[in-house]
Amino acid sequence: MTKAEIKKLFVAIEKHDQDSVLGILAKDKGAIETVGHHNANCRDKTPLMYAMQCEDFELANKLIELGANVKAKMPAGPETSVIQLAVKFGHGLNPNFDKWLSFTQKLIEQGANPSEALWPACHGYNKVADKPEIISLLLQNGASLEGEVGNSGSTVKELLVINSQLYSSRVLNLFGL
């Protein structure tokens, strides 16, 4: 795809223009995994990631049906994955929290790794909203407490203990703390 075509794809996603998005993808099946570069909002994201960022759940679900990689990672920076973005966008203060919870479940069902998202979900948790459902979902689906967080040398569990004051008793109970 040319830069202009890539830009057109991501602008269509941003405008919730599903017909244009699906038309572009029908012409070029490989475009489903192309990476946006034309602005900071879509930089390094796949169409699925950007549809999620735009909270277009209908389009995101269609992209998954068309074969979008739910295990994709942004190629630069921290290499954030699809499921990590979902739990980041779906924090407890987001008015669409329930949609994010359902969408995160779908990502797991499609093969996304819940362990990748556990620390981002914990990091995005807000004690004021106290919505631990995404954290609970990840744990119920096998997310590991022993996974190292970035290059910190600390595990998720160790960071939870260190930062326990940031979490409600509901969240700490999920982790057996």
Give domain limits for the chain. 1-69, 81-177
Q: How far is CA 74 from the centre of its chain?
A: 11
Distance CA 99, CA 76 (A): 28
pLDDT tens per residue across all 177 residues of the chain:
888 899 999 999 999 999 999 999 999 999 999 898 767 778 899 999 999 999 999 999 999 999 999 999 998 778 899 999 999 999 999 999 999 999 999 999 999 999 999 999 999 999 989 999 999 999 999 999 998 898 889 999 999 999 999 999 999 999 999
**Contact in structure between 91 and 125 (CB atoms under 8 Å):** yes
- What lies within 8 Å, CB to CB, of 165 at 6+ separation is none
Report how far apart, in Å, the C-alpha atoms of 152 and of each of 77, 147, 155 are. Answer: 16, 11, 8
pTM value is 0.93
Predicted local confidence at residue 175, as pLDDT: 93
Quick one: which of 116, 177, 175 has its CA closest to 147? 116
The Cα–Cα gap between 138 and 144 comes to 9
pLDDT of 56: 98
* SS3 label, residue 111: coil
- The β-bridge partners of 72 are none
